[in-house]
Amino acid sequence: MTLIAIVLATLAAGLGSVWVAAALMRTGIGSQGSRFGAQHLLSLAAGALLATAFVHLLPEAFESQINPKALFVVLLLGLVFFFLLDKAELWHHGHEHRHALPEERGHAHGEHADAEHADGQHGHAHHHHGHTHNHSAGGWSLLTGDSVHCFGDGILIASAFMADMWLGIVAAISVLAHEVPHHMGDLVVLSGNGGRSQSKVALLKLSLAGAVTALGGVVGYFLVSSLADFLPYFLAIASSSFIYVALADLIPQLQRQLTAKQTVQQVVWLAIGMVVVSAVSTWAHGDHDHHGHAHGLAEQHEAHGTQDAHGDHDGHKH
């Protein structure tokens, strides 16, 4: 049952994020001039990831009997690991194509001087501008990176499911949320100027990469099952991934000179992401505790009834 849930959730997160991204682009959401832009999506995703890490995953890990210091060390090492993985360009995220988001398409079609100037300011290698014109080679590089990233996401989601079913669902939703704005950029890069046919091919390729999340989920299920005692460590690693993505990838994209109104909107959407995840956590744990309490009362009642039956039987016997 758990394995089936993991497969369904990872497919929903991997494929769902791609299809939601494509649907949003088709409706114009996230594009320049839209009331709900890419900045809002990024803020929402960052809030969801941070809340998932600090409200769900870490508390679950610290409920174990493992020394908290050991879990903090794993959390720290996880942050360093994802930083190095990012440096190796295997963890392809939005920082490689943030200027290719729908609201910034103009930059991806010729304003290379501005892109180079932005690179100099922010210290990022936004080399996907070149991919817009020659997206064949760069596209496969992007898909390889996305596949590796999706595989890792699948393992993290499986780890959450092995701890608690609701925890896994929340982790899958958070993964979906933070992948949507990045897949929008991926679709722009892979589609280039190829028209509708190229867009369909791009959607198919990205969907295949997203489906690798399910493979990661299956591997994660058997990996965590065989290493059940290390589950809190897996949850700490999952937390480090979510924290790193939020703080090193998403939030830096929000650090721009904006008007007071735009800044308030960012904070509001960040808070919405946190509140939604926290509300789900409170509701899920309340429901879980209620069922657990009811189950416990049923067991006590059953045990009491059995004891009474034995007592009556013994009394009858005497």
pLDDT in tens, 261-308: 888 888 999 999 899 888 876 776 665 554 444 444 344 444 445 444
> What's this model's pTM, rounded to 2 decimal places?
0.71
Predicted pLDDT of residue 314? 52
Q: Is residue 88 helix, strand or coil?
A: coil
Cβ-contact 61, 222 below 8 angstroms: no
Q: Is residue 30 helix, strand or coil?
A: strand
Q: Three-class SS string for 46-81?
A: HHHHHHHHHHHHHHHHHCCCCCHHHHHHHHHHHHHH
Cβ-based neighbours of 145, under 8 Å, separated by 6 or more: 89, 90, 91, 92, 96
Euclidean distance between CA atoms 137 and 53, whole angstroms: 35
| Model confidence at 153: pLDDT above 70 | yes
Q: Which two tokens stand for residue 222?
A: 């058997």
Domain boundaries, the chain: 2-317
Q: How many CB atoms lie within 10 A of CB 81?
A: 16
Euclidean distance between CA atoms 269 and 63, whole angstroms: 30
Q: How does pLDDT run across 33-64, given as a tens digit for each residue?
A: 555 667 788 888 999 999 999 988 999 999 98
**C-alpha distances in Å from residue 216, one per residue of 68, 147, 173:** 27, 10, 16
